[in-house]
A and B are shown apart, each in its own frame.
Chain A
Amino acid sequence: MAKTKKEISWDLSPAPESTGHATIDKRYDLFIDGKFVPPSTKKYFKTINPATEESLSEIALAGEKDVDKAVKAARKAYDTTWSKISAAERGKYIYRIARLIQERAREFAVIESLDGGKPIRESRDVDVPLAAAHFFYHAGWADKLDYAFANSSPTSIGVVGQIIPWNFPLLMAAWKLAPALACGNTVVLKPAETTSLTALKLAELIRDAGLPDGVVNIITGAGETGKALVNHDDVDKIAFTGSTEVGKMIRRSLAGTSTRLTLELGGKAANIVFEDAAIDQAVEGIVNGIYFNQGHVCCAGSRLFVEENVANEVIRKLKHRMNQLIVGDPMDKNTDVGAINSKGQLHTIEKYLKAGEKDGFEMYQSQVAVPKKGYWCRPTLFTNVSQSSVISKEEIFGPVLAMQTFRTIDEVIDKANNTPYGLSAGVWTDKGSKIFNLTSRLKAGIVWANTFNKFDPTSPFGGYKESGFGREGGIHGLSAYLNLQG
């Protein structure tokens, strides 16, 4: 008797998040002096959903005149309101922003995933709650700054220009705005051109919070808009998060001026696994380190160092785990790896994949299906890469991991530190004394031991060397927005 064998599918059923609740206008203007105003350029650019390549909305392109208008509004607000009200009142406004974000969390998460391509689970569980937490944490600092900086008489700086990247659009806006406002400054913020939507929704929310006009101005556009903001002579401080290349350009153009500057730039973090680590947990940490947010993370653990005698085990388990990662629709709650943020970034990543293959390294990509439309890159692992190869030296900003092995602690520390970057690092071992040996010798601003890619508003973030200077978050992050005596 012939038996028909029924195929059982173990795939998860689709679990799409509804987008109905989120409203996206057809067109967004610039948020200047408390109002949405059309740009002097009369130009708008499209923002698309990278998972479908469909247009979501049109965003105003701010020109030099608009930048000037925004800076003037910020200056006026600084002089007439924001520096005049009491610190406690300032804090109350910021608390309001935190609460309003929590209330509208779902809407923000949906728009963040639509516009940027990141999995909804991440927008919902990481980006939006952390953004709210940043405002909430910093709100409380507004009237307590004298305790943070004893004998230093902290005072606000004035008008701050802030330029943020596309990998964590709302969260970066929160990282920048919350401490700046708490310390008594007014702001002109420019989001990245591919991910302006949540910043503009935040502008609506800030208006709803009743902040005095001009305290926060949000102008949209690309590099030229950012340049105009950096070079505006009535901006007292620039805070930039983005590529090391652009960071250096900004540093150069501000040379000889009194404009203060903090830079949070690229990274090429070492994630180090010792033989005595809990290997399964370490594999989870490796995955979280490099495939979180499609690897669009400046502190991504993109260089993996595994102690030689456990390398085969780690590779086997890692490949197995890579194949469990669901790549696809960012709006699906089961998705682990979403869409690459833009066509341009996908090209950059593909260029590095080719370079890695050309150098003769073994490339492994997960065997998962990806949608036809949209921008996708499967989780990728290169093994046996050399320390001097392009893929282990340069920041790829995608889900691409370059692995090397090591034998001794000194060897791995040398290799890990042998980079112009110094943003983050990871260490996996069960031995406490080894952890502290490593964490004290690794030249990086954030060291995760037996964990990776964790963020918190109370925890300072920022790099050594060419990963930038200044910190964001925590008590140390406040000093970036204050003048201190002594």
Chain B
Amino acid sequence: MAKIKTTSESIEVMKTYKLFIGGAFPRTESGRFYPLRNSSDKLIANVCLSSRKDFRNAVVAARKAQGGWGAKSAYNRSQIIYRIAEMLQQKKELFVKEMKELGYTDKRAQQEFSASVDYLVHYAGWCDKYVQVFSSVNPVASSHFNFSVPEPTGVVAAFASNKSALLGFLEAFIPAICGGNTTIVLASEELPTCAITMAEVLATSDVPGGTVNVLTGNRTELLDHFASHMDVNAFVIWDAESADSIAIGQYASENVKRIKFYKSEASAVESPQRIMDLQEIKTTWHPVESISGAGSGY
């Protein structure tokens, strides 16, 4: 084996944390940033301070991707979300290191990482099951075949919780994409780096570009844009300030946007209800022929 020349004081290459829109990693169009520092004031990263325009671009990407993602077979979506878990699992060291930079203890970082992988595996399994659990064939009194199935609401915008770096980020959009929606997620302002690294995981997990779009920046600044955008069908807000909930409700009424407020708990909620929160029930009717019906039960 050829000998590789190294210097003992090799300078570490630092990563530029960028946004994730339409499967690409652009910087914010605004050129703005905010410095993220650790507890000893060392710069971790200059994080993109996303603008309204970035959000609008992300909505365009999400809308474009929705038809394809929503039309994938449930089995395929299930495998892709399982693939995310596989890709995440092998990057354990990286994520634990990033969480520790953000102030996590080693133990807490390890725990959150494992919980995040488990969370993905749990929801991967729901993709091809929730439709069965929540569908119905309805025994109407007329001569019709009638059934109801859940379908994706469409484009879902989300504010991830500020309380955790990785698991909170996943909770903001995994139930949405399990259900065939596409999403735009604003990562935690204080803990954004894991979200961007997670976007790199998504980019290599067969998740089609535009299915998940990740922005970093400031909630207050983007709140009215997230809540009022006319081509966003639902808005998920984790750990909202109560004052924000009034503004969100008012803006969201403009296009009868579905809004869901969630509070983060000690451990992630694993429930198909979170998928169903971002679904619409569609009921289909078709006549059943009833000419010359044979009377026998055979």
Which B residue sits closest to A463, measured CB to CB?
A: B280
- In the docked arrangement, what's the CA distance between A422 and B283, Å? 12
- In the docked arrangement, what's the CA distance between A458 and B283, Å? 11
Is B136 engaged at the interface, CB distance under 8 Å to the other chain? Answer: yes
Chain A residues within an 8 Å CB radius of B283: 445-447, 459-461, 474
Which residues 216-248 of A sit at the B interface, judged by CB distance below 8 A?
244, 247-248
Which A residue sits closest to B134, measured CB to CB?
A: A476
CB distance from A288 to the nearest CB of B (A): 13
Is B213 engaged at the interface, CB distance under 8 Å to the other chain? Answer: no
Which of B148, B254, B281, B283 has most A Cβ within 10 Å? B283
Chain A residues within an 8 Å CB radius of B142: 454, 456
Query: Contact between A464 and B280 (Cβ–Cβ < 8 Å)?
Result: yes
Is B250 engaged at the interface, CB distance under 8 Å to the other chain? Answer: yes
CB distance from A211 to the nearest CB of B (A): 26
Contact mask for chain A residues 447-486; partner B; CB cutoff 8 A; 1 contact, 0 none: 1111100101011111011111101001110000000101
Query: Contact between A435 and B286 (Cβ–Cβ < 8 Å)?
Result: yes
CB distance from A146 to the nearest CB of B (A): 15
Is B215 engaged at the interface, CB distance under 8 Å to the other chain? Answer: no
- Among candidates B136, B233, B271, B282, residue contacting A486 with C-beta atoms closer than 8 Å: B271
CB distance from A448 to the nearest CB of B (A): 5
Is A206 engaged at the interface, CB distance under 8 Å to the other chain? Answer: no
- Also in contact, A445 and B280, with CB within 8 A (given A255-B250, A256-B242): yes
Is B105 engaged at the interface, CB distance under 8 Å to the other chain? Answer: no
Give the number of residues in B that approach A within 8 Å (Cβ atoms). 39
Chain A residues within an 8 Å CB radius of B271: 486
Which of B136, B139, B242, B253 has most A Cβ within 10 Å? B253
Query: Contact between A265 and B138 (Cβ–Cβ < 8 Å)?
Result: no
Query: Contact between A251 and B253 (Cβ–Cβ < 8 Å)?
Result: yes
Query: Contact between B245 and A255 (Cβ–Cβ < 8 Å)?
Result: yes
Is B140 engaged at the interface, CB distance under 8 Å to the other chain? Answer: yes
- Among candidates A252, A459, A466, A486, residue contacting B249 with C-beta atoms closer than 8 Å: A252
- In the docked arrangement, what's the CA distance between A255 and B153, Å? 21
Chain A residues within an 8 Å CB radius of B138: 456, 458-460, 474
Contact mask for chain B residues 251-293; partner A; CB cutoff 8 A; 1 contact, 0 none: 0111110100000000001010100000011111111000000
Using a CB–CB distance below 8 Å, which chain B residues touch chain A? 134, 136, 138-142, 144, 146, 148, 151, 153-154, 233, 242-243, 245-250, 252-256, 258, 269, 271, 273, 280-287
22 contacts between A and B (CB under 8 A): A133-B141, A255-B246, A256-B242, A256-B247, A420-B255, A422-B280, A443-B154, A446-B284, A447-B282, A450-B286, A451-B287, A454-B142, A456-B146, A459-B140, A460-B138, A460-B281, A462-B281, A465-B233, A467-B256, A474-B148, A476-B148, A476-B281
